[in-house]
Amino acid sequence: MKRYLLPLLVLASAAMPVHADDTDKAPPVVKVSSVRDPELKSYRTMLKSYSVVEEFKALAPNADFRFLLLPPPGTPAKDLSLRIANADDSVPVPVAKDNSFALPRLPAFETTDAELLLNVKKGGARWRPQVTTPGLPPDTRRLGDLRLECEIRWVVERDELSFARRTLFRTLGGPCGSKNVSTHFITQRPLASATLIDGERRVALAVANGGYTFVPPLHDKTLGNDALVQLVYKDATQ
């Protein structure tokens, strides 16, 4: 069966593509008036993430969940501001120094066509879910956290897929549970290696796109949610 690629962190604006390139060059980050970036979905769509966190809580029972705004790979982070806006009103959303944010529940905006607006040009920042279990060793990711991030991204993106593409992914077992879908997770520094550690078991993971993505086996049920991915960055080995 043909193997499909799902680069979770650089999905196209209107669809979850089967093939995509995580390292496409994005336009320079320039501060402008707030812009509707198609990488960010509507306010109501992004709020679906919180229901997914509850539904799949067993994957990461002790984790914190926020959203993260990422510049293009290899590009320094910029100061970002974010707001929720509809035709009648606008509310700022606090963005932390690490460019993470929590999306507030605002009933008055949930019933309108509210959008998330950023202060950078299109392509200047991309979002991803950030699921983090406290107390992990430095430069590690917990497999259950990554599995939950995948489920969040799938729910946010799937409504914009064509019926044929939604059917394809469901037939394959979903983008987060199929051996026929390679799910890429992006990093902001190039990797030298990524190794999954589960007890005595060690698995070298694929590193792609110039070292800016790694591919964990989310589908492999023989690997527990507490398995860790040890990331070694190129600049740390020089």
In whole angstroms, give the CA distance from residue 162 to residue 142. 32
**Alpha carbon of residue 17 to chain centroid:** 15
Quick one: pLDDT at residue 18? 33
Max alpha carbon distance in the chain (Å)?
A: 58
Q: Which domain holds residue 14?
A: 4-237
- Our count of domains for the chain comes to 1
- CA-CA-CA-CA torsion sign (6, 12, 18, 19): negative
Quick one: pLDDT at residue 71? 83
Quick one: pLDDT at residue 238? 67
17 CB burial (10 A radius; 0-12, 13-18, 19+):
middle
Which among 178, 76, 188 is positioned nearest to 130, based on CA atoms?
188
pLDDT < 70 stretches in the chain: 1-39, 238
What are 178-226's pLDDT values in tens digits?
A: 888 888 998 989 999 999 999 999 999 999 999 999 999 999 999 999 9
Quick one: pLDDT at residue 79? 82
Quick one: pLDDT at residue 121? 79
Quick one: pLDDT at residue 171? 82
